[in-house]
Structure 1
């Protein structure tokens, strides 16, 4: 059985004024990126960007609230 790390989101180091949690660093992940981001209700200012040049994809999972 492989080792694992258990960490509560509210215990993770924050960045960018507390709106982002550095999950990758906190969990010791080396093979892919991972962050936890918290947005206020009706937030629509997330920067448009693309990873088509680097061949990476992003996956968003809503933990609370809803999204369109």
Structure 2
């Protein structure tokens, strides 16, 4: 299995989800004052999903990075 490509894909996913999390925090504080009770349910669900993708991509970067290093050594 080509762990180098999986590592690169998970790294790109981490960067994209980090940007989406940052954008969501800005929108949350700009339009809703940082109060999650006043946010629409769809926005709250979307941001929760983006944060779970962010957490999963951190784990994937770590795992595929170790596997790629193990394969190359």
TM-score above 0.5, yes or no: no
Bin of the TM-score, shorter chain as denominator length: under 0.3
Computing the radius of gyration from Cα coordinates, the structure with the larger value is 2
Query: Which structure ranks higher in relative contact order (CA pairs < 8 Å, sequence separation ≥ 6)?
Result: 2
TM-score, with structure 2 as normaliser = 0.22
Query: Taking structure 1 as the reference length, what is the TM-score of the superposition?
Result: 0.23
| Greater percentage in helix | 2
